[in-house]
Amino acid sequence: MEGNTKVGTGRVIAERVERYVERGRSRGTGPGRMGWLPPWIRWLPPVLVVLALVLELTTPTRYSFASFLTAAVVLAALLSRPFVTCIIGGMSIGLLIGMHLALTDVYPDNVTGPVITLILVTGFSTLLALILEHTTNQLVQVQAVAEATQLALLRPLPPRLGPMRLAGIYRAADEAALIGGDLYCVRPTPYGLRVVVGDVRGKGIGATETVATITSAFREAAMTCPTLTGVARRIEEAMAMDREDLEAGGSAAPSLHDRPGRSWAPELFATAVLLEFPDDGHFVRVLDRGHPPLFRLGGGKGVVPLEPGYALPLGFGDLAPDSVPQALSYELAQGETLVAYSDGVTEARSRDGGFYPLGQRLTERYGAGSAFRADGAGGSMRTAGIDPAEVVSFIHGDVTRWAEAINDDMVIVVLQCDPVAAR
């Protein structure tokens, strides 16, 4: 089953890569078509050629502007495709010869040397344009792989699934990679809506393989395992197979042995929280595997952390085989909201080194006395007064303003109980 799941994921990635690459080619992948450059800048090389001709004809003979032609060719290599660079170079060479023949008082000497120099500049510039175009095409493909991988592994959340309203955001520490070591996955199952939010050891692109293992194993196990404990066990089995593959690869490399007779065993684990919302949506089962606690908004209690007890992270279950963590159940009122996140949020540091106080900021925004309370007499939070997307937007914007720099992967998922509207 896991193999089929991974094959399906791989097929999705391949299809999306092809689509993104075609989109990049249709937009043009040459250096002169980079989206961050203004459109008019590609006209600079021919403008320089024309400007050289005009200045030669209108300025005193003691001035020479032949250097503009060389600059036009070099600039064309940076801004245009190879054949355009070659055309600009040919125009420049022809113009230089023409000016030598027509303006003998300006170019009294032999023009062979300058022409040969300009021919060499044109050749090297065309080669440079070819290299830049090839590099740009490779970057387009890498970007396509990154985007397709992100969409295949971390699929966008719909605004509603069953009795729950959803919103989420993912931000990788390496923004160019688009994906890192944090993860989330939401799956409707015969047992209700199941969710996992996690944080893999490491960050950036190096943790992507473990993210793929956990999300694919979760999608399979969520449909077949009757309990969250079984889902967590199935994820650990998939991670154990990955660890065995890494150990087998490491044992063949002498440099990976830290001492004689002992092979290198990488630490492969992830903190995660698994949630299950039955179809009636009036309660949630929570299994926390070493992940930061959820925050619960509303229900007449303001903002409170939801701490169901902790267990070892996923991947460390074999260290305590006799201890089997169980999911705990909590009742949910209409409009109650749960906020799941990774430590990339709470460990974001300000300029003075302080960690981001997520609980405090949520209390100031959604606690008693805020604009999201129904009244000042301890009434419950208005269902219409809070939107999961607004909560995600607030947290992301607030932590971005708080932190001097975001140096870790960050995920935020907000789920709101709304079974009445679902029915």
H or E element in which residue 197 lies: strand 192-200
Is residue 89 located within the same domain as residue 186? no
- DSSP sequence for 30-73: SGGG-TTS-GGGGGHHHHHHHHHHHHHHHS-TT---THHHHHHH
Which of 295, 293, 274 has the alpha carbon at shortest distance from 285?
274
Which of 146, 175, 191 represents a domain boundary (last residue)? Answer: 146
Assess if residue 257 is contained within a domain. Answer: yes
Which of 127, 146, 165 represents a domain boundary (last residue)? Answer: 146
Assess if residue 164 is contained within a domain. Answer: yes
**pLDDT, position 3:** 45
295 bridge partner residues: 305, 339
Write out residues in the chain with pLDDT < 50, as ranges: 1-10, 12-14, 17, 21, 25-33, 251-265, 373-384
Amino acid at 84: V
Sheet holding 294-297, edge to edge: 160-161, 164-171, 410-417, 337-341, 294-297, 303-306
Is residue 140 located within the same domain as residue 175? no
Is residue 329 located within the same domain as residue 368? yes
Distance of CA 41 to the CA centre of its chain: 30
Which of 121, 146, 171 represents a domain boundary (last residue)? Answer: 146
- Between CA 325 and CA 314 the distance in angstroms is 11
Number of structural domains the chain divides into: 2
What does the block give as tokens for 275?
Answer: 């949630």
- Between CA 110 and CA 115 the distance in angstroms is 10
Assess if residue 264 is contained within a domain. Answer: yes
Assess if residue 402 is contained within a domain. Answer: yes
Is residue 167 located within the same domain as residue 308? yes
Distance of CA 246 to the CA centre of its chain: 25
Is residue 281 located within the same domain as residue 203? yes
Is residue 239 located within the same domain as residue 299? yes
Is residue 272 located within the same domain as residue 174? yes
Asked if 339 and 304 count as a contact pair (C-beta separation under 8 A), the reply is no
Assess if residue 308 is contained within a domain. Answer: yes
Assess if residue 152 is contained within a domain. Answer: no
H or E element in which residue 195 lies: strand 192-200
Is residue 233 located within the same domain as residue 319? yes
Distance of CA 144 to the CA centre of its chain: 12
Assess if residue 151 is contained within a domain. Answer: no
Is residue 195 located within the same domain as residue 132? no
Q: Could you count the other beta carbons within 10 Å of the beta carbon of residue 237? A: 13
For the chain, the C-alpha Rg in angstroms (whole number) is 30
Greatest C-alpha distance within the chain: 98
What does the block give as tokens for 186?
Answer: 């939401």
Question: Could you report the per-residue pLDDT of 215-249, keeping only the tens digit for each?
Answer: 999 999 999 999 999 999 999 989 888 888 777 76
Is residue 90 located within the same domain as residue 186? no
Asked if 230 and 221 count as a contact pair (C-beta separation under 8 A), the reply is yes
- Between CA 387 and CA 320 the distance in angstroms is 40
CATH of the domain at 354: 3.60.40.10
- Between CA 177 and CA 139 the distance in angstroms is 11
Is residue 89 located within the same domain as residue 208? no
How far are the Cα atoms of 229, 230, 288 from residue 324, in angstroms, in the given order? 8, 10, 12
Assess if residue 64 is contained within a domain. Answer: yes
Is residue 126 located within the same domain as residue 229? no
Which of 170, 150, 137 has the alpha carbon at shortest distance from 16?
150
Sign, Cα dihedral of 42, 47, 52, 53: positive
Question: Could you report the per-residue pLDDT of 139-186, keeping only the tens digit for each?
Answer: 777 777 767 766 677 788 889 988 889 999 888 776 665 677 888 999
| 306 three-state secondary structure | strand
User: Domain residues for 45?
Assistant: 2-146
φ/ψ of 415, rounded to 5, equals -125, 135
